[in-house]
């Protein structure tokens, strides 16, 4: 966490006061607007603490004095090429993309049951990165109003006014078009169409419809985050076979425990923004029960890949799955007993778990180990 002198922190947290003329000619100030109030649980005037943004993959971004004060002086920040580069990088959420690519490469290795042509892997990663960046940038445009209210997202470029909504929109659309062109030219049409379909689903279905209307938002909306494995498989094979759908299911069942654990920690943030995440609308015991249930589905689903893999993947899928289930049950037990819980621990563990499972899949495939096959 970055620290600044109290005088600078007070300047960052300074509120804008509106005045009205009283009958006696004096001027009276009204309360600051919601935009000017510090977020609940965030820094207050005179505090040395600055807000952090934690993305759904665990990315933290400390807000410096210069960046936060850019809200009041956007032109000064926008003129700096370095600041602009950082702002546009913030729009695409590179740490989120990093997590998606962790699943893409193993999917390609499994599809080839070996190592595909490096040029094909690179082209798929470039096109996939552009597609994910497009979806994230367009999401920032659509969610700018709630990002401004939520303490953990107030460091985003549109909230700080380091990038205008129009420029962010154009940037997202250009990335999407570039993704389609890149994948079509270097892989195949199916991979390109799947990438564009993912962008449209994430923005039009999840962001604009599901996110603010139902507690099942991330269950169904999370399907967009499952698509990189399918795109990677299609880039290698030109089609979509059953192992690609199994990998899709692994990420699909992984998403609720991952996201709800974060939402348990930042429940007040989502509630203030009017986003009906499950921890906002349901009792903690119900949330932890759902997390445990989806965790079991996720672990069992990973075992469906065993017939297409060798012993290495099987060992890590079972071992990592048992480890994750212990943590999920521990969270549920403490919730039932009314004891303090650490949902962020499960949140961060979920990232490690997914990485372990898919890296094991990648190594197993790259080594070309004998596959178990179906018993019938």
Give the pLDDT confidence of 117-130 residue by residue, as tens digits. Answer: 999 999 999 999 99
Q: Are 38 and 272 in contact (CB under 8 A)?
A: no
Furthest-apart CA atoms within the chain: distance in Å: 91
93 sits in the region (left: phi over 0; alpha: psi -120 to 50; else beta) called left
Judge whether 256 and 294 are in contact, CB under 8 Å: yes
More confident residue, 86 or 69: 86
Q: Which pLDDT band, with edges at 50, 70 and 90, does 155 fall under?
A: confident
Bridge partners, residue 61, by sequence: 53
pLDDT tens for each residue of 280-305:
999 999 999 999 999 999 999 999 99
Q: How far apart are CA 118 and CA 109, in angstroms?
A: 11
Q: Measuring CA to CA, which residue among 208, 239, 238 is closest to residue 224?
A: 208
- Give the span between the Cα atoms of 188 and 166, in whole angstroms: 31
Return the pLDDT at 34.
36
Are 84 and 168 in contact by the 8 Å Cβ rule? The answer is: no
pLDDT in tens, 193-233: 999 999 999 999 999 999 999 999 999 999 999 999 999 99
User: Would you state the pLDDT for residue 82?
Assistant: 84
Residues 100-118 have pLDDT tens digits of: 778 999 999 999 999 999 9
Residue whose token pair is 């109030």: 37
Number of Cβ within a 10 Å radius of residue 94: 17
**CA separation for the pair 364, 237 (Å, rounded):** 19
CA distance 39 to 48: 15
Q: Taking Cα atoms as reference points, which of 133, 139, 154, 127 lies closest to residue 63?
A: 154
Burial class (CB in 10 A: 0-12, 13-18, 19+), 64: middle
> What's the rounded Cα separation, in Å, for the pair 148 and 140?
11
Contact 190, 239 (CB under 8 A): yes
User: And the tokens for 306?
Assistant: 């065993």
Tokens found for residue 348? 């961060």
Domain residue ranges in the chain: 92-367
Model pLDDT, residue 79: 61
For domain 92-367, the question of CATH label 1.10.357.140 is answered with yes
């Amino acid at each position: 966490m970055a620290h600044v002198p109290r005088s600078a922190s007070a300047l960052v947290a300074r509120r804008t006061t509106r005045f009205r003329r009283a009958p006696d000619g004096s001027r009276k100030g009204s309360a600051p607007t919601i935009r000017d109030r510090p977020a609940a649980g965030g820094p207050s005037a005179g505090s040395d603490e600055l807000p952090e943004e934690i993305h759904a993959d665990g990315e933290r971004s400390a807000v410096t004095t210069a960046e936060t004060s850019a809200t009041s002086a956007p032109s000064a920040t926008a003129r700096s090429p370095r600041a602009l580069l950082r702002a546009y990088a913030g729009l695409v959420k590179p740490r989120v993309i990093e997590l998606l690519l962790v699943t893409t490469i193993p999917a390609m290795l499994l599809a080839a049951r070996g190592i595909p042509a490096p040029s094909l892997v690179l082209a798929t990663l470039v096109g996939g990165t552009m597609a994910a960046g497009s979806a994230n940038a367009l999401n920032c445009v659509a969610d700018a109003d709630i990002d401004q209210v939520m303490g953990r997202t107030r460091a985003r470029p549109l909230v700080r006014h380091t990038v205008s909504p129009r420029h962010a929109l154009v940037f997202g659309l250009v990335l999407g078009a570039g993704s389609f062109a890149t994948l079509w030219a270097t892989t195949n049409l199916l991979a390109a169409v799947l990438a564009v379909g993912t962008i449209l689903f994430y923005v039009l279905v999840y962001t604009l419809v599901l996110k603010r209307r139902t507690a099942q938002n991330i269950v169904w909306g999370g399907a967009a985050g499952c698509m990189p494995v399918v795109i990677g498989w299609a880039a290698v094979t030109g089609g979509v076979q059953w192992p690609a759908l199994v990998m899709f299911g692994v990420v699909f069942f992984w998403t609720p425990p991952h996201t709800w654990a974060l939402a348990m920690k930042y429940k007040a943030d989502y509630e203030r923004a009017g986003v009906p995440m499950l921890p906002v609308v349901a009792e903690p015991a119900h949330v932890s029960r759902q997390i445990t249930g989806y965790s079991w589905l996720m672990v069992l689903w990973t075992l469906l890949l065993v017939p297409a893999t060798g012993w290495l993947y099987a060992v890590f899928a079972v071992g990592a799955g048992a480890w994750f289930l212990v943590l999920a049950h521990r969270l549920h037990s403490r919730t039932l007993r009314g004891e303090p819980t650490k949902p962020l621990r499960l949140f961060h563990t979920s990232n490690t778990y997914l990485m372990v499972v898919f890296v094991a899949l990648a190594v197993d495939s790259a080594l070309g180990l004998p596959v178990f096959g179906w018993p019938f």
